């Protein structure tokens, strides 16, 4: 009888292995060790190459434990779909030079049909930030996760701590969805943007909490069809389109939606930002709706006068901002100028619509909020407070 059960079990398992459409590889089988000390970079790389060469869909599994990883590139194209299931934590070496010179820590390059589930990554950026604050001979810094030339990617449930620079950078990608992320770096940590998108299309960022020292999300030149929803942003600098117009020949930004999100104690809420110098860039068809502002310094802002260190004196932004809708945005402003449209004198903003806005000054005992407009044209619908200047 026992023998029969054993034989049945072996038969059953063989069938499962044979017919299962998904192969699974554990990085530990490739020599990775979750002890937080052993350098597991090459083991991860070997596991990736194995997975990438698999003719059928494959799961790459990272079990619980702390895995020390240096700069690593997971390259495609791969033969089949890859699922990266991470139950453990990936940490960068303590010495910030180990990843600080390559621009990225973990890079996915030319990969399509990838899903990354779970995982915690910690770039341990504090030493690097301190170096930058003291100002001498620091490396340029690394993004924690970079997706370059990728398509059809899902990143779900990832937690990212303390990147040296940007936590997640998406460049030259299409059809990428980021969801249920937790991103966190301290207030004041320099340039630790949560998510940066550039030269990409069809990007969805949903259901995520982002607290950083810089923008929660920044959308750079050449981005289109971007959907951002259910974000808890703050502290940080808010959600920004820009900076745009730093180069003269620049791809524009179009069709960006930010919806159903909450901003807490951020420097900006929703911002469009461009350099005050010539450029053929643009930002158009932007929709900001159903947003709550809590103690935000500039809840609604278009700033086309960006020019650090007075590097562009007496110039105006060539970036054309048009067709921007602000709808159902409520809450409190930490400054009196709750709505600020500081547009280009050579390329005024056109087609701005304000609908159902209620932003009050946090300090009620003081004064009501106000709108500032320079070179901005548009309309208002419904109740708009502070009063629009259109
Ligand atoms: C705008 O982007 C959304 C995704 O955010 C997409 O569904 C929609 O088709 C795009 N609209 C146009 C006109 O391309
Ligand atoms: C509100 O404004 C008044 C007058 O400027 C100031 O004295 C007070 O400290 C402010 N309160 C807060 C909470 O900022």
Task: Report which ligand 1 atom has the smallest distance to the Cα of 202.
Answer: 4
What number of CA atoms fall less than 13 Å from residue 123's CA on the CB side? 35
CATH topology of domain 215-390: Pectate Lyase C-like (2.160.20)
Per residue in 230-258, pLDDT (tens digit) is: 999 999 999 999 999 999 999 999 999 99
User: Does residue 196 have an active-site annotation?
Assistant: no
Distance of CA 279 to the CA centre of its chain: 25
Per-residue 3-state assignment (H helix, E strand, C coil) for 89-138: EEECCCCCHHHHCCCEEEEEECCEEEEEEEEEEECCCHHHHHHHHHCCCC
Give me the mean pLDDT over the 99-107 stretch: 96
Instruction: Provide the pLDDT for residue 17.
Output: 41
Q: Where are the domains of the chain?
A: 1-207, 215-390
Q: Which of 136, 237, 314, 380 is an active site residue?
A: 237
Q: Looking at ligand 1, which residue's alpha carbon is closest to its atom 6? A: 225
Which residues are CB-contacts of 249 (< 8 A; sequence separation ≥ 6)?
Answer: 279, 280
User: Cα of 217 to ligand 1 centre, how many Å?
Assistant: 19
Output the pTM of the full model.
0.93
Instruction: Name the architecture of domain 1-207.
Output: 3 Solenoid (2.160)
Would 1-207 and 215-390 be classified into the same CATH topology?
yes
**Residue 362: pLDDT band with limits 50, 70, 90:** confident
Report DSSP letters for 205-243, one per residue: EEEEEEE-SS-SEEE-TT-EEEEEEEEEE-SBS-EEEEE
User: Cα of 254 to ligand 1 centre, how many Å?
Assistant: 9
Give the pocket of ligand 2 (CB within 6 Å): 363, 365-366
Q: Distances in Å between the alpha carbon of 195 and those of 109, 168, 281, 316, 348?
A: 17, 5, 21, 28, 29
């Amino acid at each position: 009888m026992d023998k029969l059960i054993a034989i049945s079990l072996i038969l059953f398992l063989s069938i499962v292995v044979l017919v299962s459409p998904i192969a699974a590889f554990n990085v530990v089988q490739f020599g990775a060790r979750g002890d937080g000390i052993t350098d597991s970079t090459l083991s991860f790389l070997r596991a990736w190459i194995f997975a990438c060469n698999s003719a059928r869909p494959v799961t790459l599994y990272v079990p619980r434990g702390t895995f020390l990883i240096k700069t690593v590139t997971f390259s495609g194209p791969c033969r089949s779909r890859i699922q990266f299931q991470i139950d453990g934590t990936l940490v960068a070496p303590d010495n910030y030079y180990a990843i600080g010179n390559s621009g990225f820590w973990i890079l996915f390059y030319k990969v399509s049909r990838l899903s990354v589930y779970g995982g915690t990554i910690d770039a341990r950026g504090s030493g690097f930030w301190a170096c930058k604050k003291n100002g001498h001979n620091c490396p340029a810094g690394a993004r924690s996760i970079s997706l370059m030339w990728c398509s059809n990617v899902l990143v779900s449930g990832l937690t990212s701590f303390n990147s040296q620079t940007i936590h997640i950078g998406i460049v030259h990608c299409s059809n990428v969805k980021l969801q249920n992320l937790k991103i966190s770096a301290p207030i004041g940590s320099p340039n630790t943007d949560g998510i940066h998108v550039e030269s990409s299309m069809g990007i969805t960022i949903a259901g995520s909490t982002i607290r950083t020292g810089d923008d929660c999300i920044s959308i750079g030149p050449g981005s289109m069809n971007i959907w951002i929803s259910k974000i808890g942003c703050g502290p940080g600098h808010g959600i920004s389109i820009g900076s745009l117009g730093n180069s003269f020949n620049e791809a524009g930004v179009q069709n960006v939606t930010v919806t159903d999100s909450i901003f807490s104690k951020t420097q900006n809420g929703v911002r469009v930002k461009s350099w005050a110098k010539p450029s053929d860039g643009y930002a158009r068809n932007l929709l900001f709706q159903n947003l709550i502002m809590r103690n935000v310094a500039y809840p609604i802002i278009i700033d086309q006068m960006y020019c650090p260190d007075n590097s562009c004196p007496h110039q105006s932004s060539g970036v054309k901002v048009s067709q921007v809708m602000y709808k159902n945005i409520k809450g409190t402003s930490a400054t009196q100028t709750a709505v600020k449209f500081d547009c280009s004198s050579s390329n005024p903003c056109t087609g701005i619509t304000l609908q159902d806005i209620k932003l009050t000054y946090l300090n009620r005992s003081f004064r009501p909020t106000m709108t500032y407009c320079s070179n901005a044209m548009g309309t208002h619908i419904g109740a708009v407070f502070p009063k629009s200047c259109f």
